[in-house]
Chains A and B, each alone.
Chain A
Amino acid sequence: MSYNPFSLKGKNVLVTGASSGIGRATAIECSRLGAKLIITGRNSERLEETLSLMEDEAHSMVVADLSYSEGLNLLVNALPQLDGVVHSAGVLKRLPLKFVTEENLAELMQINFIIPALLTRHLYKKKILSTDASIVFISSVASSFASLGNIMYMASKGALNSFMKGVALELASSGIRANAIQPGMVKTHLTVLISDSEIEKDIDCYPLGRYGKPEEIACAVVYLLSDATKWMTGTLLTIDGGLTLR
């Protein structure tokens, strides 16, 4: 009865963006599978709420704004040896090309691409990643599936996918794996600006008839963190209710 290839027992896992959405669901699912979590985000109140929803009490949180090197250092210095990292922090801003400015492009690229890239670099360089660690990037089908006004987000997720593949190759000899998950639309606070009627129309594009739930992405993260995927690296795992089938 105790056989479970997806168990995360004995693994230390860092989850960024754990104060809401997919990051929060990931922290909760990982705790249920036995991992010891370190969760990070900018909002201490919401991080504490995530902690209260997690199983067991051995977990910890680090409030840090990773946009600044101080925040990044604060986090990295607080970390134990890690068996898993989940890059879940992200922002979404829909702007047609005419309205794209250097400032909002830089801000979005910073959060969705540069921070996960720099954090990965620090974790590797400071030897915080165990020899068989698994790195999971939360990307999006938007990396290659275009939608109006989504240019900046698409580009940031495309960059993240390419970065993941480079990391997978470069760190393979250290036994470290890197993979990315590409969810279709998952209802989180990032979707708040879209109107109800627009959402209904959009859901019609999903063969499985609905948007995803954060925990459905979290279960795929568990899979990629677990020993079940020890021979899997550099993969883009699409979970989109069939959106990109046609």
Chain B
Amino acid sequence: MSEKFIELFKETLEIEDDSVQLNTEFRKLSQWDSLAFLSLIAMIDEEYDVVIEGNDFKKLITVGDVISEIEKR
């Protein structure tokens, strides 16, 4: 799950290097902006059939947190 998610995450944010790990704080990435946020929410909905609402998403800090949130649903 983690490896596949990181691949999808990178694809969504158009990141081509290996800078994304489980402990990456995604809001600190230079590619992170409003459109990246909307894209990530859309990708998770499309790939995992999970809708994370804004207020829940706000609590997630790292890439690993996002994975745990998806697994929880």
A residues with CB within 8 A of B? 94-96, 98-99, 148-149, 192-198
Complex Cα gap A52–B62 (Å): 47
Return chain B residues, CB-CB under 8 Å to A197.
54, 58
Residues on A with beta carbons closer than 8 Å to the beta carbon of B57: 195
User: Would A195 and B54 be within 8 Å (CB), given that A99-B43, A99-B46 are in contact?
Assistant: yes
Contact among A96, A192, A195 for B35, CB-based, below 8 A: A96
Chain B: residues with Cβ within 8 Å of the partner, total of 14
Q: Residues 30-73 of chain B: 1 if any A CB is under 8 Å from the residue's CB, otherwise 0?
A: 00001100110111001000010111011000000000000000
CB distance from B39 to the nearest CB of A (A): 5
Chain A contact residues, majority secondary structure: loop
B42 to chain A: closest residue by CB: A99
Check B53 against A148 for contact (C-beta < 8 Å). Answer: no
A-B contact pairs, 27 of them (CB 8 A): A94-B42, A95-B38, A95-B42, A96-B35, A96-B38, A98-B39, A98-B42, A99-B39, A99-B42, A99-B43, A99-B46, A148-B34, A148-B35, A148-B38, A149-B34, A149-B38, A149-B42, A192-B53, A193-B53, A193-B54, A195-B53, A195-B54, A195-B57, A195-B58, A197-B54, A197-B58, A198-B54
Listed from nearest, the 9 A-B pairs whose CB atoms lie closest are: A195-B54, A149-B38, A99-B42, A96-B39, A195-B55, A95-B42, A148-B34, A96-B38, A194-B54
Q: Are A96 and B58 in contact (CB under 8 A)?
A: no
CB proximity of A66 to chain B, nearest CB, Å: 25
Whether B54 lies near A96 (C-beta < 8 A) is no
CB neighbours (8 Å) of A195 from chain B are 53-55, 57-58
A98 — which chain B residues lie within 8 A by C-beta? 39, 42
Which of A94, A192, A196 is close to B38, meaning CB atoms less than 8 Å apart? A94
Q: Cα distance A195–B46 when bound, in Å? A: 20
Complex Cα distance, B47 from A98, in Å, reads 13
Q: Can you name the residue of chain B whose Cβ is closest to the Cβ of A195?
A: B54
16 other contacts beyond A96-B35, A193-B54, with CB at 8 A cut-off?
A: A94-B42, A95-B42, A96-B39, A99-B39, A149-B35, A149-B38, A149-B42, A192-B53, A193-B41, A193-B51, A193-B53, A195-B53, A195-B54, A195-B57, A197-B54, A198-B54
